[in-house]
Amino acid sequence: MIQITGLTKVYRRGRPPALLDLTFDARPGMVTALLGAEGAGKTTALRLMLELEQGQGITLFDGRTYRRLRRPEREIGVLLPTGRPVAGHPGRRARSHLRMLAGAVGVPARRADELLEQTRLAGVAGHRLRSFSPGMHRRLSLAAALLGSPGTLLLDAPTEGLSPRNIEWFHSFLRSFSVSGGTVLVTTRTMQEASVLADRVITLDRGQLLADQPVAEFRRTRLHPEVSVRGPQMARLADLLLSQGVEVRRDGGAGIAVSGIGRTEIGELAYRHGILLHELADRVVEQPVPHPALPAASGRSGHVQLRPAGQAEPGRPAVVGQSTPPDRILQATAPTAPQLFQDEPAPVAGRPPQAQPLQDQPPQAQRPQAQPSHAEPAAPTSLNHQPVTGPDHRSE
Ligand SMILES: Nc1ncnc2c1ncn2[C@@H]1O[C@H](COP(=O)(O)OP(=O)(O)OP(=O)(O)O)[C@@H](O)[C@H]1O
């Protein structure tokens, strides 16, 4: 059991705290997800728990602070970002890397071999780390965290950037670890991962606890961190994001809402492609519900969610309280970006573009008509708040 009380961290005086009074529990037999957008404070929370960072508040692991644990590596397995994709020295072979760490933890070398089996790395145990894929590195890091047979796992974004196959493997591993009585605390940026992986979801927004919910309740309310982006060239940006497998939905006339990627990455992508941004901001919203009329897709999953008519609130996504299982959310095939987004023409000097009223989504899914290139400044389509998921190009 991990009891987290009042964690607070201010990195720079005069700046808002990275974490403010965070309190929650992570219980044995459960996967607890700490969900938040980029910069929400997830890593800071983990670092404070492990006393790698000075701050306020207290974390107890089965009643003791980290510092008071007799053999922390035997009690808590940790996976924190190292800033490098490689799990160890690139020239070292996986088996000798893990056996060396086994020696440091004080467990026999055969424990390293067992873990290579368990993490499906036995077949590449003699390979050098430089030949490993990101998924293999991540599994090797997990094997290292498990060397001391800890009862608790603290994992920071363990699946980020991995292939669907590796993500699935991690999820099933963590679920069986918790089912056998282990405590798992895992951070994630995506609501989708939180809903399929966790039993309990702690949602953080700009350093503060927004919600602490059992997963069933989380699925009903579906608090969802996303980045709101506005500017005159959102179609181009949406295309770029979709081509990288990022989830994008239209959000008002000149805006898109982006999930599963941080502000910084979006800003850098826009900068690299010369795309002008007027706004780039984190926020947490409740997810619109999928439209019941949408057909199930054949082939790879997309992500289309339509807000029922009449639930619009101009300028922000609909707030819904309807429960929809996450597997339903992933059933429809998404239209492609050019169908959904069209950049505003450049403003004519001395004649600013007219603000257009927002329109509600009609109850039936309708494909938008392609607009001719000579069209007048685009009238808002009926596709406000329509999310799209593009193909997953992330490699293992
Ligand atoms: N060493 C540091 N010095 C100053 N500010 C920091 C430092 N580390 C983090 N921050 C700031 O604290 C806030 C929380 O950062 P943190 O890394 O904990 O967020 P996060 O939720 O883990 O984000 P991500 O999903 O990108 O990893 C951010 O505003 C970040 O810029």
Residue 41 Cα to ligand 1 middle (Å): 6
Question: What is the per-residue pLDDT for 379?
Answer: 29
Q: List the chain residues with pLDDT less than 50.
A: 289-340, 344-396
- Which residue minimizes the CA distance to atom 31 of ligand 1? 39
Pocket residues for ligand 1 (CB within 6 Å)? 11, 18, 36, 38-44, 189, 262
From the centroid of its chain, how far is CA 36? 7
Residue 266 belongs to some domain of the structure: yes
Instruction: Check the CA dihedral 259-265-267-268 and report its sign.
Output: negative
The confidence score (pLDDT) of residue 98 equals: 95
Q: Can you give the CATH number for the domain in which 54 is found?
A: 3.40.50.300
d(CA 165, CA 101): 27
Q: Which residue from 260, 193, 200, 253 is spatially nearest to 225, judged by alpha carbons?
A: 260
The predicted pLDDT at position 160 comes to: 87
What's the number of domains the chain is made of? 2
- Check: CB of residue 57 under 8 Å from CB of residue 4: yes
What per-residue confidence (pLDDT) applies to 101?
A: 93
Cα–ligand 1 centroid distance for 142 (angstroms) = 23
Taking CA atoms only, the protein residue closest to ligand 1 atom 12 is: 18
Contact 291, 363 (CB under 8 A): yes
pLDDT at 220 (0 to 100): 80
What is residue 89's predicted lDDT score, i.e. its pLDDT? 83
In a domain, 374, yes or no: no
65 and 200, same structural domain? yes
Q: Which one of 177, 205, 221 terminates a domain?
A: 221
Q: What is the pLDDT of residue 390?
A: 33
Mark whether 46 and 151 lie in a shared domain.
yes
Together in a domain, 204 and 265: no
Using DSSP bridges, classify how beta strands 152-155 and 183-188 pair: parallel, antiparallel or unpaired.
Answer: parallel
If asked whether residues 87 and 117 sit together in one domain, one would say yes
Q: Mark whether 124 and 42 lie in a shared domain.
A: yes
Widest CA span of the chain, in angstroms? 76
Residue closest by Cα to atom 1 of ligand 1 = 11
Nearest CA to ligand 1 atom 24: 38
Starting at the edge strand that comes first in sequence, how are the strands of the sheet with 183-188 ordered?
76-79, 152-155, 183-188, 30-35, 200-205, 208-214
Residues 215, 269: one domain?
no
Helix axes 234-243, 263-272, angle to 10 degrees: 110
Q: Could you list the residue range(s) of the whole structural domain that residue 122 is in? A: 2-221
Distance CA 139, CA 158 (A): 9
Asked if the ipTM is above 0.95, the reply is yes
Assess if residue 297 is contained within a domain.
yes
Residues 204 and 272 in one domain: no
Nearest atom, ligand 1, residue 262 CA: 26
Residue ID of nearest Cα to ligand 1 atom 25? 38
pLDDT at 251: 86
Q: Across-strand partners of 76? A: 152
Atom of ligand 1 nearest to the CA of 47: 18
Domain stops at, among 158, 192, 221: 221
| pLDDT recorded at residue 328 | 28
Residues 198 and 260 in one domain: no
| 191 part of a folded domain | yes
Among residues 187, 221, 255, the one where a domain terminates is: 221
Instruction: Provide the pLDDT for residue 171.
Output: 95
- Tokens found for residue 352: 């600013």
Neighbours of 10 (CB within 10 A): 15
pTM of the model: 0.65
